[in-house]
Amino acid sequence: MKPKYVFLITLAAGLAGGYLTAPGLLPALQKAIYGERVATQKPKKPKADATEAPKEEPVVEATTPEQPAEAAGEEFDWSEDPDDGLDRFADAHDPDAFEDGEEEDIEEVDDPEGENITPERIVRYRRKTETLGEDDGLRPVNEPNYTGKISPAVWKQPKVLKRRLAGRLRSRLKGVSQEKIEAYLQNPEVRLMLAQWELLHRSNLEALSKLMKDRNARNSLAPLLNDLQWLTGFVYDGELSQAEVALSMLAHFRQVDPHMDEEVLKDGDTGKQGLKRRVAGAIATQFTRNGWYGEERELSKEELESFKDLGYIMPTLPGDKKRGKNKQDIYRAARERYLFFAESIDGNKLNGYFATLPTWLLHYCCGWKGNSPFGTASTMCWLRDNCAAPARAYTGMAYQVPYLPTNVYGDSIFSQWYYQPFDVLYPGNFAKETRDVGAVCGGLSHFGTSAACANGVPAFTMGEPGHCAYAVYIDGEWRGANSLSEDRHPHWNTWGEYTWSALQMQTAMYKQGAITRDAQMVCTLATMLSEHRNPVNALKLYEMAVQMQPLYQPVWTYYMDTAARSLGKRPRKWLGVNDFVCQSITPEHPEMCAKFLRERIYPTMLKAMRSPKQKLAAFEAYFKNINTNEKAQWDFHLLLDMQYGALGKSRTHKDAFMTTLVENVAKHPEFCQMIAWAIKTAHGEGKPFMKKLMAHIDEAVKAHPEAKDLLSCGVIRGAEEIGDVELANKWSADYLDAGKSMPDFEPVGGNLVSAGGLVTLSKYNDDQSSIIHHAAALTEKGGHIYSAFGKHQKVTIELPKKARIGGIVIVPTNGCGSYRTWGIEISADGKSWKKLTDLPDGSKEPCIRVCIKRSHPTAKFIRIDSGEDQLVGINFKAVLVYDNKKVK
């Protein structure tokens, strides 16, 4: 037998048995194979990409002197790789070389804990996180300073390169146990290859190939793509979609700024090294991801020529059909943004904080709304030069803009005329125009955000009910600014969902930068193995990645997609996964965990579980792990409905569920709205069930007297929603003497008939604590009724019994001035309503007295509508209803 066959057999046997761990053995075998394979090995499938490899023109090598020397046996010189080398490598690791169902022989994980995810593992990774230390999110991931050796020419064939990288990565992989993966990730070359593979995985390879065939483009991109620190940030620190478009944009940046790699550094100012590269990456990523265009206009001939010369691929982005030929504008808007930051960095004009920002935070300030007039380079330039402030001061920067709903011409901010006349005075500088002309909440918040971003402080705008606010990243956390509510929805985010909870989870994830980066790389490796038909090891690696960083949302999606099949109908395994999710995500991020359970775990897990006991155990894991004091201001009822519905018809199990719920809410009374849900649900189950629930709540109050007020809020809200006057009054009895100072007012005659009634609101405020004062607000002592903000918020008073109305007194908490189009309606049955009267507009009085002189209408329900104004809700100290009888 010829030596080459001996080697091949040894290789196959060695891989199968997992014995090929001796250093140098595998590379030696590879060398032997590659050296002689062409003549002997038949390709299993024709390799179109490999055969198309054209002859390469001379290229400049992009390497740095710091490049570590490698063991000679493991060296694989990309730049000197001849065309036939591409073929050989591709064949040796061709995914198609494996038959269907056959797996590559990488050593199986040595897993003493079995296949299940176990809480012990979480502890292990947590410890590691703790030793690495959580910081304020401002410490960049400490990737080694390593430069790869792939020559620019190799990028011309991204498909081939991707396959070669996969082969190379697999050849280096000695097993998938935790220790081996940790050792594997120690190698900077491996880390770079993983990032490169991930980049290719996220690219349209044909489009990328087209881009890389342009010599200028690939020569300017090659140094970036070989830079471990830059590439890992580019690939992993933001949601990279259409990577090839982002790369074409980067090539454009490098052409307009040939000095991208040469920051003007002062003595000891090494923190800024590579800053412009990272800024360019962040801008390209965000502009591509969001499809932001600059101002729509026809491009000049020169611009068109310059784009044509570059030969860049034109992205297909949202709105392309509408915009037609102006697609290139995306480059202009992004280029302006890049040049603004490049000039600011070189001129030392940004807040000192900026140079310390890790890449994920650069996405916020550099990638800030490319489609907003507040995001143009000229506006940002003005803000940089006129609103430079310490980071902490940006929460107040919005107030430079006067709050003026109507301009000097009497035109409303909601009309097209508001800024129109002034545009000529402020060409291209919308921030200054806003500051001088005025705005309402949206303009104020955009001004504050843009001022922060233009000075290198991360910020973004966000929606709140009927309001626009913003958030600024200061001292390791997002701080609300110009904010009225905690019900916040970011207007954009650097990746993932646009929810406050998702943002908090991402922030927590990036704060554990090193472990997150490792988990992301393990996830890449798993995806790569999954593509190469090695699902068993892929699953193990996904599992490892979720254990390493459970807050990394995308890996859960990959993991669950891969795991669903293997977990199948094995309830215990599902329980393990469920417990792991609940332990690792619920404590700080209950909303995200609930969403994940609903969308990714329960649909399959609940089918696999037949025993309600197991389901109860799974549900309990969620409640037990809540460990946050934040209010539940999200759609928790979707989770509770799903859980409750899964228990079937068994009253025993439903009762057990309610017990668990009540016990855990008593420990975290900020979730008191869940008690309201429980009451509403129990109401539908009949009186005995309701009685049991109330007994549980009584017990919980006894066990947690400190939670009594909030639990009472939950019960009263539940009672109000089911219309149970008796229950609401029973739980309000202790709060009737709230001691609110009531204004003096002339009596309207008659007897007070509202006391003992029931209050309901069309939309409740986030601040649940006022609910216990609803009953008192129907008495002359006064209490508090507080709804959400927004148009036509309504409070309905159900009187204890029908009465002929003689008068009504309304006492708003802050006087009547805020109410302009409010009114009163009455009803006998709570269904058909009749207008009683409109109320005076913007009265300066502390209360309104409505005296009915003649035809006293009979009513059981009184409803007050807050009117048209967006920023007003119900905020009353008292609503007092009197009859027409003689005072007793």
Q: Does 296 bind another protein (CB under 8 A)?
A: no
Q: Does 405 bind another protein (CB under 8 A)?
A: yes
Beta-carbon count within 10 A of 327 CB: 17
What residues numbered 147-166 form the site for another protein, per CB under 8 A? none
- Give the Cα separation of 597 and 193 in Å (integer): 34
Which CB sits closer to another protein, 603 or 842?
A: 842
Q: Does 334 bind another protein (CB under 8 A)?
A: no
- Give the Cα separation of 589 and 844 in Å (integer): 45
Q: Does 123 bind another protein (CB under 8 A)?
A: no
Q: Does 406 bind another protein (CB under 8 A)?
A: yes
Q: Does 393 bind another protein (CB under 8 A)?
A: yes
For another protein, the binding residue among 41, 67, 400, 762 (CB under 8 A) is: 400
What residues numbered 710-749 form the site for another protein, per CB under 8 A? 746
Q: With CB under 8 A as the contact rule, which of the stretches 51-59, 101-109, 342-350, 610-618 interacts with another protein?
A: 342-350
Q: Does 836 bind another protein (CB under 8 A)?
A: yes
Which residue has 């929606």 as its token pair? 463
- Give the Cα separation of 142 and 144 in Å (integer): 6
Q: How many residues would you count in the chain? A: 888
What residues numbered 854-883 form the site for another protein, per CB under 8 A? 854-855, 868-869
- Give the Cα separation of 400 and 385 in Å (integer): 15
Q: Does 477 bind another protein (CB under 8 A)?
A: no
Beta-carbon count within 10 A of 555 CB: 26
- Give the Cα separation of 853 and 314 in Å (integer): 75
- Give the Cα separation of 580 and 123 in Å (integer): 11
Burial 708-729 (b: 16+ CB within 10 A, else e): bbbbbbbbbbbbbbbebbebbb
Q: Give which of 848, 844, 867, 689 is closest to 792, Cα–Cα.
A: 867
Q: Does 135 bind another protein (CB under 8 A)?
A: no
Which CB sits closer to another protein, 130 or 136?
A: 136
Q: Torsion angle, CA of 152/154/159/164, rounded to 10 degrees?
A: -130
Q: Does 476 bind another protein (CB under 8 A)?
A: no
- Give the Cα separation of 867 and 398 in Å (integer): 28
Q: Is the separation of the CB atoms in 161 and 192 below 8 Å?
A: no
- Residue 445 tokens read as 């918040």
How do strand 873-883 and strand 477-481 relate by DSSP bridges? Answer: unpaired
- Min. distance of Cβ 411 from another protein in angstroms? 6
Q: Does 851 bind another protein (CB under 8 A)?
A: yes
Strand order in 477-481's β-sheet? Answer: 477-481, 467-474, 459-464, 489-490
- Min. distance of Cβ 849 from another protein in angstroms? 5
CA atoms within 13 A on the CB side of 759: 35
DSSP conformation letters of 482-524: S---S--EES--SSS-SSHHHHHHHHHHHHTHHHHHHHHHHHH
Which CB sits closer to another protein, 284 or 397?
A: 397
- Min. distance of Cβ 808 from another protein in angstroms? 10
- Min. distance of Cβ 396 from another protein in angstroms? 7
Q: Does 837 bind another protein (CB under 8 A)?
A: yes
Count of residues that interact with another protein, criterion CB under 8 A: 58
Burial 822-855 (b: 16+ CB within 10 A, else e): bebbbbeeeeebeebeebeeeeeebbbebebeee
- Give the Cα separation of 246 and 265 in Å (integer): 27
Which CB sits closer to another protein, 53 or 451?
A: 451
- Min. distance of Cβ 416 from another protein in angstroms? 11
CA-angle at 229, arms to 95 and 357, nearest 5°: 135
- Residue 736 tokens read as 């009737």
Q: With CB under 8 A as the contact rule, which of the stretches 12-20, 311-319, 580-588, 851-859 interacts with another protein?
A: 851-859
Which CB sits closer to another protein, 475 or 486?
A: 475
Q: Does 270 bind another protein (CB under 8 A)?
A: no
- Residue 85 tokens read as 């080398």
Q: Does 388 bind another protein (CB under 8 A)?
A: yes
Q: Does 136 bind another protein (CB under 8 A)?
A: no
Would you give the binding string for another protein spanning residues 427-446, x where CB under 8 A is met?
A: ---------x----------
- Min. distance of Cβ 790 from another protein in angstroms? 14
Taking CA atoms, 161 is separated from 150, 200, 524, in Å, by 10, 9, 16
For another protein, the binding residue among 24, 73, 352, 686 (CB under 8 A) is: 352
Q: Does 193 bind another protein (CB under 8 A)?
A: no
Q: With CB under 8 A as the contact rule, which of the stretches 399-407, 622-630, 752-760, 875-883 interacts with another protein?
A: 399-407
- Min. distance of Cβ 88 from another protein in angstroms? 54
Taking CA atoms, 735 is separated from 391, 671, 782, 788, 795, in Å, by 43, 20, 11, 22, 20
Which CB sits closer to another protein, 828 or 851?
A: 851
Q: With CB under 8 A as the contact rule, which of the stretches 29-37, 237-245, 290-298, 406-414 interacts with another protein?
A: 406-414
Q: Does 769 bind another protein (CB under 8 A)?
A: no
- Give the Cα separation of 114 and 116 in Å (integer): 6
Q: With CB under 8 A as the contact rule, which of the stretches 65-73, 314-322, 640-648, 839-847 interacts with another protein?
A: 839-847
- Min. distance of Cβ 142 from another protein in angstroms? 23
Q: What is the CA radius of gyration of the chain?
A: 33
The amino acid at residue 754 is S
Which CB sits closer to another protein, 352 or 648?
A: 352
Which CB sits closer to another protein, 318 or 421?
A: 421
Q: Does 217 bind another protein (CB under 8 A)?
A: no
Q: Does 353 bind another protein (CB under 8 A)?
A: yes
Q: With CB under 8 A as the contact rule, which of the stretches 47-55, 225-233, 288-296, 832-840 interacts with another protein?
A: 832-840
- Give the Cα separation of 418 and 406 in Å (integer): 7
For another protein, the binding residue among 6, 16, 123, 425 (CB under 8 A) is: 425
For another protein, the binding residue among 44, 45, 325, 392 (CB under 8 A) is: 392
SS3 label, residue 804? strand
Which CB sits closer to another protein, 666 or 872?
A: 872
- Min. distance of Cβ 481 from another protein in angstroms? 13
Q: With CB under 8 A as the contact rule, which of the stretches 33-41, 394-402, 476-484, 630-638 interacts with another protein?
A: 394-402
Which residue has 């396959």 as its token pair? 163
- Applying CB under 8 A, the residues found at the interface with another protein are 347-349, 351-353, 382, 385-393, 396-397, 399-400, 403-412, 417, 420-422, 424-425, 436, 746, 817, 820-821, 836-837, 839-842, 845, 848-855, 868-869
